[in-house]
Every structure is written in C-alpha cells, then in structure tokens.
Chain A
Amino acid sequence: MSLLSQDAGPLPHVAADGTVIEPSLAGVGDFVALMKPRVMSLVVFTALVGLLVAPGHLHPVLGFGALLCIAVGAGAAGALNMWYDADIDAVMARTAQRPIPAGRVSRGEALGFGVTLATGSVVVLGLVANWLAAGLLAFTIFFYAVVYTIWLKRRTAQNIVIGGAAGAFPPMIGWAAATGGIGLEAAFLFLVIFLWTPPHFWALALCRAGDYERAGVPMLPVVAGTQETVRQIRLYAIALLPAAVAPWAIGSAGPLYGATATLAGAIMVALAWRVRDGGRQAKTLFGYSILYLFVLFAVLLVDHALFGLWAAGARAAG
C-alpha cells in the first residue's frame, strides 16, 4: 500500500492497546525548544574554540559539518532530557512551559526525535571528521541522558558535579575532530567547564531551591542547606582559577589569555564570596558565570590568533 494512498486513511481514535491517540499539536518551534537552543549555543561555542585552537587542520566545510553534528548531538541530549524529566518539569515554574509539560509535544514524539538526532549526529560526525570525535559525542549524549538525567539527577546532591562532565566534553570533541586525538590542552578545557559547572548551577539552585524541593530533585541547597551550598560554591570557584590559568602556565596559551583567566577567575571567587543565600548575589554569580565562560573561551580564541605562533615557538624552544 502506498504511503500516499488516500486509502491509508486518518489516524484511529484508539490504538490497539486502548490508548487514545490525539493528533500532534507540536509546532516547529516546539521541536527547536526540545533541543534547548541556549544550552546548545554554549556547546557549539566551546566546541568551536576547541576545534580552532587545536593544532590539527580540518577543512572549513568539514569543520562546519563537525560543529553542526555536535550541535545536533547536544540538541538530542536536550530532547532526551525533556522526555525523561517531563514529570518534574511540570511542577517547576522555570520549566512548566516546556513543550511536553505544556501538552504541545508528546513524550513519544520527544523520545523519537531525540534518538533519531542522536543516532544521526554521531554517525555523520564519524563520517565527516573521525570516529574518535563521534565516539566522544556518543558518550556525551549517553552521559547526559542516562548517567545524569536518568541515574544521578533524582538520586544524589552531586548530580550536577558528575553530570557536569557532559557539558565539559564539547571542546574535547572539537579538538578530537580537528586532530584525531586528545591533547593535554583539551583536557584542561574539559577541566575548566567541569569545575565551572557546580558554582554556575548551585547559584541557580539557591535561587530556585523551592522549585527543586517541590519537584523532589535533591539539589545541594535542598538536601544540605544554604550554608553548605555556599561553602562548596566557594571551593569550586577557588579550584576553577588555577585550572583556567593552566593553559597559559603550560605554554599552550599566550599572555592575553593568562591575564584574562586570572582576572575573570578572581572576580568569580569574589562574587562567590559575596553569596550568602538565594538572593541577589546568587543571581549575580549565576549571570556572571555565563559571561565568564564566554569571555574565557572567546579570549582563548583571540589569544590563539594573536600568539599562536609565539606559543608554538615557545613549545619548540622548550
């Protein structure tokens, strides 16, 4: 029977198992929202920096293709996260209007969308760049959707610490796409985002502790209290400073990056020290943390363009 046949008829009201099938209300924008475009933009940016500062050379068209795959893979992870978390999204003010809790997209549609994008992005990245980058992308999607979303998020207050690794992989994937390997510099870029994630998310969690409590998500402010969360935010902000400066210290980045990482890191520590509760200071830290990561990676890119040859020369001389 042809798929285009008029005899194919409309959808039945009731499926074989008795479930009522409603026609989809999803608009194109809902599927875009499933991919968490704001998270995706940060993923694409950090992956772009990893790809451009890597010593290997990738044809610009292939580089664009690799970035597209990383973006789609990140979107797939976002869709799978929304598929599984639809129940808790519905009770949190920040997420209640997402496509699934709002009733515009069914969970099945989100699952199918996520799995299709995940499979496609990994396979195409393997063909466009290399299979190490594709393997890292597959692991990242698995880590975010399964290890973080399904396993850790509802079980431990360390959910975003361990789960933060998923957000830290993109520059490493970009690096692997360009070089076919993983260098020490890529590991430092991973470490920067890994250590940046806890103060970033816990600042938000301090402001939204009530939401997380209602949803039954054991975020640190909910299970350990405000004071312990503030203490850990400060510890991670302190640890982040030397990790961010390290690429300059080992000669992989130039003085512009080194100065920026030191100054921006010191401001991050100072803002972390001002946080007392879920008030204005926590919101300031959350906003600044986004700016911090963007500026750090942007300056790394500029620094690479300005001092790339210098850094390479210094390495050769050393």
Chain B
Amino acid sequence: MDEKRDDDQRGKGGVVLTEEQKRRQRARSIAIALVLGALVLFFYVITVVKLGPGVLRRPL
C-alpha cells in the first residue's frame, strides 16, 4: 500500500520520503501521541486536585 502511495505521490510531482525519513516521521508521530495522551491525563488529574470533591457536585 505504501508503494502504491509513493507511486501516486511521484505522479503528482510530490516528495517521496526515504525509509529513514519515514522511520523518523513515525517516531515523531508516536512521540506526539504519547505527549498528547500524557497531557490529557495531566489536565484531568490537575482539574480533580484543583477542584477537589466539588468537581462531582454540579447542579442538575
């Protein structure tokens, strides 16, 4: 499937990534995903700590 995409990209005159560039792009994508996941957890915990039990007491 990657080869087909590379052929499409060549056909459009675009940049075709080398194997090394693909590997680094994948590593960056995984790192960004991990950081975003950690941030979600961080904001969740901070919110609970800042608001305390009051976070669950919302007017209906």
A-side residues, CB < 8 A to B, are 6, 9-13, 21-28, 31, 59, 61-62, 65, 68, 127-128
Contacts and interface: CB of A to CB of B under 8 A. Distances in A.
A10 B49 contact: no
Interface residues of B, number: 21
A23 B21 contact: yes
Interface of B: 5, 8-9, 12-17, 20-21, 24-25, 27-28, 31, 42, 45-46, 49-50
Nearest to A20: B15
A9 B12 contact: yes
Given A27-B27, A59-B49, A61-B49, A10 B21 contact: no
A208 B25 CA distance: 36
B46 A23 contact: no
A24 B23 CA distance: 11
B15 A23 contact: yes
A93 B35 CA distance: 33
A11 B15 contact: yes
Contacts of A62: 46, 49-50
B14 A12 contact: yes
4 A-B pairs with least C-beta separation: A10-B14, A10-B9, A28-B31, A61-B49
B53 to A, nearest CB: 14
Given A61-B46, A65-B46, A10 B28 contact: no
A270 B21 CA distance: 52
Contact of B42 (A6, A23, A65): A65
6 contacts: A10-B14, A25-B24, A27-B24, A31-B28, A61-B49, A62-B50
Q: Is the interface of B mostly helix, strand, loop or mixed?
A: helix
Nearest to B42: A65
Which of B9, B15, B27, B28 has the most CB atoms of chain A within a 10 A radius of its CB? Answer: B15
Given A61-B45, A62-B46, A128-B46, A13 B15 contact: yes
Nearest to B43: A124
B28 A27 contact: yes
A68 B20 CA distance: 32
A12 B46 CA distance: 42
Contacts of A13: 13-15
Contacts of A128: 46, 50
A18 B25 CA distance: 24
A25 B42 CA distance: 30
A12 B13 CA distance: 7
A24 B42 contact: no
B46 A11 contact: no
Contacts of B21: 23-25
Contact of B28 (A6, A28, A61): A28
